[in-house]
Amino acid sequence: MDTMLPTALHDELSTLLGDGWLTDEAARRRHGEDDSRRWALPDAVAQPRTREDVVAIVRACRAHRVPIVARGAGTGTTGAAVPTQGGVVVSFARMNRIVEVRAADRCAVVEPGVLNGELQQALMPHGLFWPPDPSSAEVCSIGGNLATNAGGPRAVKYGTARDNVLGLVAVTGAGELIRCGGPYTKDSTGYDLTHLLVGSEGTLALIVEATLKLSPRPIAQAGLRAFYRDAGSAAAAVSRLMNQPATPAMLEFMDRRSLALLRHNGSDVPEAGAMLLVEAEGSHDTLPDVLAALGAAAEGEGLLSLDVAVDGAARDRLWAARRALSPALRTIAPGKINEDVVVPVSRIPDLVAGVEALADEFDLTIVAFGHAGNGNLHVNLMYHPDDAAQTARAHAALPRLFALVLSLDGTLSGEHGIGLSKRDFMADAFDAATLDAMRAVKAAFDPDGILNPGKVLPPPTA
């Protein structure tokens, strides 16, 4: 045995889980990191196959006051899945069944280890999809999507993970199995534990089954590309686009530096202050009118040019340009701090101006793009890790970015969550009474504090 766990706990869980109980260092190492580039070594990895396994794991760990860190596919960006206090990582890789697709009820019942991309494939024959579309969709798990309240471009029309779950079965930190919600779309029956658990990053309960709200696949799609003189003109267009009834299916913003980066990497993009990509959905009959409505809303003060890409290839090029941005960032600098801040739509120009001012003040390249319809921009602070001074400047600029966002009535995270990386900024985002209410909720679900300790909520001061 290659672990620091109490022998009784090790023996109990080893007997329960058989080859689903891993204590070798290689396995522990593999299960100790996420896409935040943080890592820590857990004392063991548990791979339950059933909800009863999960109940037994939590009860056993609770008896020994051993921390439990839930793990999906490890694609999170905030360190939420990193076992910084050791203990047992519970990987849901083996709880990966699509239990039932209830097409007539527009919902699917899944275990948390199902990958988002697998689910989408399984739903295709039913003409349905599950809206959350993080950029990691092919390889991230539904459990992780729920734990972080993941989003993506489609959230502007369809909402995030929280808006697309109807019910959960979960195991609390007290080792109790709870069931909330179900295969129905309207519910005023008791407290809404379902939506509370979504986004709680494994700190309140471990999700062992989810009933997901599905949407019908659109029949036809088309895209618009609009260039603006400046971010202010683009943001005004975002408000106009969101205030007319043909809600865009995606509405993405790219700032001046994003466009320069695309040009630098060979994309056919003119010089402009900002670009919007707008996706329209409809039937073959209605799509032209939806596009016309979106085009009319995109027009206004500061518009430089507007292209409509109705056919597949041109539309694909539009979205390829958007997808190319994240990898293209690496050509600026190998280090990046990628935040997913949110501001009210009307404050996007202030956010962009503030980010430009921070770039000047800290002598950094900062690139901003993202989900404009939700005011959810990815602000990327670029740096060379080998350049200690630049690295220090990037990290010094980060608190200023959050302060800027909060001064604009915004918030820290729109889709990545808090984890470790934003935990210590929570006290800036919430007053003491609200943080205390969150701590009381934590204690209600996890009385001994064994579930993902040290994440989301900062330690109380004093």
Integer angstrom CA distances of residue 255 from 47, 86, 115, 272: 43, 41, 32, 9
Instruction: Tell the smallest beta-carbon distance from residue 452 to its own copies (Å).
Output: 13
Q: What is the smallest separation between the CB atom of 290 and its own copies, expressed in angstroms?
A: 7
Q: Which of residues 96-115 bind its own copies (CB under 8 A)?
A: 102-107
Site string for its own copies, 118-147 (x = CB under 8 A): --------xxx-------------------
Helix (H, G, I), strand (E, B) or coil at 322: helix
Q: Which x/- pattern over 324-363 shows residues binding its own copies (rule: CB under 8 A)?
A: ----------------x-xxxxx-----------------
Instruction: Name the minimum Å distance from CB 93 to its own copies.
Output: 23
Q: CA–CA separation, 207 vs 70, rounded Å?
A: 9
Burial class of 384 by CB neighbour count within 10 A (0 to 12, 13 to 18, 19+): middle
The residue type at 178: I
> CA-to-CA distance for 379 and 371, rounded, in angstroms?
11
Is residue 149 classed as helix, strand or coil in its secondary structure?
Answer: coil
**Tokens 């494939």 — which residue?**
121
- Orientation of helix 348-362 relative to helix 388-407, angle to 10°: 150
The answer to whether 282 and 290 are in contact (CB under 8 A) is: yes
Please, which of residues 232-261 interact with its own copies by CB under 8 A? Answer: 236, 239, 242-247
Answer for which of 5, 165, 418, 420 binds its own copies (CB under 8 A) is: 418
* 128 vs 364 by CB, closer to its own copies: 128
Cβ proximity to its own copies: between 7 and 188 the closer is 188
Q: Which of 134, 417, 453, 454 binds its own copies (CB under 8 A)?
A: 417
Q: Quick one: 116 or 149, whose CB is closer to its own copies?
A: 149
**Closer Cβ to its own copies, 100 or 361, answer by number:** 100
Please give the structure tokens belonging to residue 305: 């040019």
What whole-number distance in Å separates Cα of residue 462 and Cα of residue 442?
19
Nearer to its own copies among residue 344 and residue 385 (C-beta): 344
From residue 64 to residue 103, the character string flagging contacts with its own copies as x (rule: CB under 8 A) and all else as - is --------------------------------------xx
Q: Is 51 in the site for its own copies (CB under 8 A)?
A: no
In whole angstroms, how close is the CB of 4 to its own copies at the nearest point? 31
Please list every residue from 288 through 307 that binds its own copies, using CB under 8 A: 289-290, 292-293
Decide whether 114 or 123 has the Cβ nearer to its own copies: 123
Torsion sign across C-alpha atoms 45, 50, 54, 57: negative
Is the CB of 223 or the CB of 417 nearer to its own copies? 417
What residues numbered 144-203 form the site for its own copies, per CB under 8 A?
148-151, 155, 160, 162-163, 172, 176-180, 182-193, 195-196, 198-200
Query: What is the CB neighbour count within 10 angstroms for residue 25?
Result: 12
- What token pair was written down for 233? 């003109």
**What whole-number distance in Å separates Cα of residue 179 and Cα of residue 212?**
14
With CB under 8 A, what is the number of residues at the site for its own copies? 102
Tokens 């010089």 found at: 271
Counted residue by residue, the chain has a size of 462
Rounded CA-CA distance 456/126 in Å is 37
Binding mask 423-462 for its own copies (x = CB under 8 A): ---x--xxx-xx-xxx-xxxxxx----------xx-----
